[in-house]
Structure 1
Amino acid sequence: MRVPIEITYRNVAKRDAIENLIHDKADKLNEFHDGIVSCRISIEQDQESKRSGNQFHVRISLRVPPGQELVVHQKSDEEGTGESLRTVINDAFKTMSRQLKKLKQKQRGQVKGRAEIPEPVME
């Protein structure tokens, strides 16, 4: 990715494996839209909870021209089954890639918008 990636960790230890995974996934986003202006990623973990376990939250925020921002929030499942951080990151990037595909199609005019309804003419 040509744009520097800003990664923020909250209650999560920074690991090289996670950092490399994020950079690889972010580089692949250029395949879906080549005009990405900024990329911010936030990785958080809830404080320990006996009932739900430690849930991971991943937020990806991208800016693409003309001044649009795409945001994805992904969190681990509610049951506390120990879904790994890697899985949550992968799911977040899959969702972002779908959003980028839809945006690109819309910008190219491949997606139909709402049809203009003609106003009735009173005679």
Structure 2
Amino acid sequence: MQIPVEIAFHNVSSSDGVEDAIREHVDRLERIYSRMTTCRVRVDQRNRNSNETIPPVVRIEISVPGHKDIVVSHEPAHLQRKFQAPDLNNAINEAFRIAERRLTKHKDKLCDHGTAEMVHEASNEFRGQIADLPPEKDFGFLMTKEGGLLYFHRNSLLSGDFDSLQRGDQVSYVESMGDTGPVASKVRMLG
């Protein structure tokens, strides 16, 4: 990290053991994503009751380059639902468990390790027709349902014979981004 971890306590006493546990969790976060710039942890005992069963709130703010801060903070009710008798250690462990999950999700999104939602190709497939086929060229143009023209190359044709294509033939295609703008790819002849 570029900035050392910041740990603050509010309405709760600090101890070396608690701070060491927090620092160990932060080290684990750094192993997950080494590009963290800073991590701020605040332990806050917002409410108290007579039998001391309300756990403190642990708020974690993780700064990563090029992204808004990843913030983890949950109310005591979350811990009271999850643990029978939640304490400071439960609050710290649960907050860092959530932080690890969010940081891993952020890292996977950047690395595109398959966390992106899978979309079937058919949902991106459109219908059009052959609009122009310049003679003795390896490309042509499709007319989209909106009336625009899209370039396609001979190699984009997945079914049918490029040399037998004629103006007005119905096709399906997937629109993608080429070097100079949108193009039709995965072009298929329709019966």
> TM-score higher than 0.5 here?
yes
Tell me what 1:86 maps to: 89
Tell me what 2:73 maps to: 73
Tell me what 1:32 maps to: 32
Tell me what 1:105 maps to: 108
Gap change, CA 1:102 and 1:78, over 3 Å in 2: closer
Gap change, CA 1:26 and 1:80, over 3 Å in 2: closer
Equivalent residue of 1:95, what SS? helix
Q: Which runs of 5+ in 2 are unaligned?
A: 127-143, 148-191
* Residue identity matched to 1:54: I
Matches within 5 A, 1:12-31: 12-31=12-31
Tell me what 1:47 maps to: 47
- Normalized per residue, which structure has more strand? 2
Contact 1:6 1:40 in 2 (8 A): yes
Identity %: 25
* Residue identity matched to 1:109: D
* Residue identity matched to 1:108: C
Tell me what 2:189 maps to: none
What is the CA–CA distance in structure 2 between the aligned matches of 1:92 and 1:80, rounded to whole Å? Answer: 13
What is the CA–CA distance in structure 1 between the aligned matches of 2:80 and 2:27, rounded to whole Å? Answer: 26
* Higher mean C-alpha deviation, range 113-122 or range 17-26: 113-122
What is the CA–CA distance in structure 2 between the aligned matches of 1:14 and 1:118, rounded to whole Å? Answer: 59
Q: Does 1:122 align with 2:146?
A: yes
Aligned residues between the structures: 123
Tell me what 2:141 maps to: none
* Higher mean C-alpha deviation, range 13-22 or range 61-70: 61-70
Shift of 1:117: 5.5
Gap change, CA 1:51 and 1:85, over 3 Å in 2: closer
Gap change, CA 1:84 and 1:51, over 3 Å in 2: closer
Higher relative contact order (CA 8 A, sep 6+): 1
CA radius of gyration, larger in: 2
Contact 2:37 2:64 in 1 (8 A): yes
Equivalent residue of 2:69, what SS? strand
